[in-house]
Amino acid sequence: MKRTEIKIAGDSPGTSYYLTCLKIGPDDRALPKIFIQAGLHAGEQPGMLILHHLLAMLNSADQSDSLTARFVIFPMVNPIGMGQFCLHHHQGRYNLPTGINFNRGWFDLFSMLSRNGGLAHLAATLLPDDAAHNTNIIRQAVSNALDNYKPITALDVQRLQVAREAFDSDIVLDLHCDDAALNHIFIVPQLLPAAQDLSDWVGAAATLTAEDSGGGSFDEVWPGLWIKLARHFSDHAIAPPPLAATLEYRGYCDVDDQMNRQDAENLMSFLKGRGYVGGETVAMPVPAPLPLPFAATEVVIADQPGLLAYHVGLGDVVAAGDVLADLIILDGPNAFVERHPVRAGTDGFILSLRCIKYVRPGDTVAKVVGKTPLAHRTGYLLEM
């Protein structure tokens, strides 16, 4: 295992951050490359414990010469977010100086390649019938574009360092969690059904698909480039997009040694099934439900402040109009007496709820996974 500590100068005098990158496996660039990170939203920490266990498993496999791929692991990919506390509470979702969500607004690689005649240059060098040749040309162009990118802030530098390791990977897995939730996955639809085995091994209660969920999230950067290139160069051989996904491992409180070790074992089984790790394979788990469009998932929000009293639990099946929770009103003439119902707007099942039951207008109360895309779910599909 090769450990690299990347120093990132802070935005204020006397501050700096250290980003740890671990590389495991044969030093052969011809082999597939697997990129896995956790803690991009620094307050979401089940993935860090999962990678703690996975690193030990991969290191053991490497020592027995059982790895047939190169692994790049960022077990805590956001040291900037890890350092953000206010009044004893960790603030790891947003960059506090700017309000930028750490998992929004990532690089648009297609736009980067489009600048300064980059697409015209690609058109002159890509071949109509050689996808392997074209992959090397495209990856070199992306590498050059990243080299030419001029970071300004510490967050820019942090993102650039991560992107330099992720851009040429064959698999990119970004480990997150929800508030309180069942396991689920976000993925572009072009990667299915081939990626069904990933959903199966994660034990996903839902596999939610969107080619562009509107926020420039990390997992969409890498397949998005190849999807756009295939459309732009329709008369050239363009390789399929790399397998990239956001893996949502339950909720904030589900940092549990035994449970997260099992999550790591399941990831190892996925990697073995794909042929990236040798050794005895494990029988496939119970298949996960088939994918559904993310636009069919209703994000139920509070329309006024109050205290939530839930009527439902994770996994419960509900119908449009069902009361999911009562919002106990906390001010006005009926304060502490009136209960305002919060209802489902679609048929489906409860994927996530809140840990903190005090809400303000606009706060998410629940996610209901349905089957039919909702008319209002267009453009920006993510939570803020």
pLDDT tens column, 369-382: 999 999 999 999 99
- At 231, is the pLDDT very low, low, confident or very high (cuts 50, 70, 90)? very high
pTM of the model: 0.97
Q: Which of 356, 309, 307, 354 has the alpha carbon at shortest distance from 335?
A: 307
Structure tokens at 99: 């309000």
Superfamily of the domain at 2-290: Zn peptidases (3.40.630.10)
Write down the mean pLDDT value for the chain. Answer: 96
Per-residue pLDDT of 195-229, as tens digits, reads 999 999 999 999 999 999 999 999 999 999 999 99
Contact between 8 and 161 under an 8 Å Cβ cutoff? The reply is yes
Query: What percent of the chain is modeled with pLDDT above 70?
Result: 100
Q: What is the pLDDT of residue 118?
A: 87
Domain positions in the chain: 2-290, 294-369
DSSP three-state, residue 338: coil
Q: What is the pLDDT of residue 280?
A: 84
Q: Does residue 31 carry a pLDDT above 90?
A: yes
Helix (H) or strand (E) holding 214: none
Cα–Cα distance, 26 to 358 (Å, whole number): 50
CATH 2.40.50.100 fits 294-369, yes or no: yes
DSSP three-state, residue 363: coil
Cα–Cα distance, 232 to 236 (Å, whole number): 9
Q: Does residue 116 carry a pLDDT above 90?
A: no
Q: Do domains 2-290 and 294-369 have the same CATH topology?
A: no
DSSP three-state, residue 118: helix
C-alpha distances out from residue 18 to 21, 41, 53, 79, 263, Å: 10, 16, 21, 7, 27
Contact between 374 and 298 under an 8 Å Cβ cutoff? The reply is yes
**What is the mean pLDDT of the segment spanning 310-332?**
97
Q: Does residue 34 carry a pLDDT above 90?
A: yes
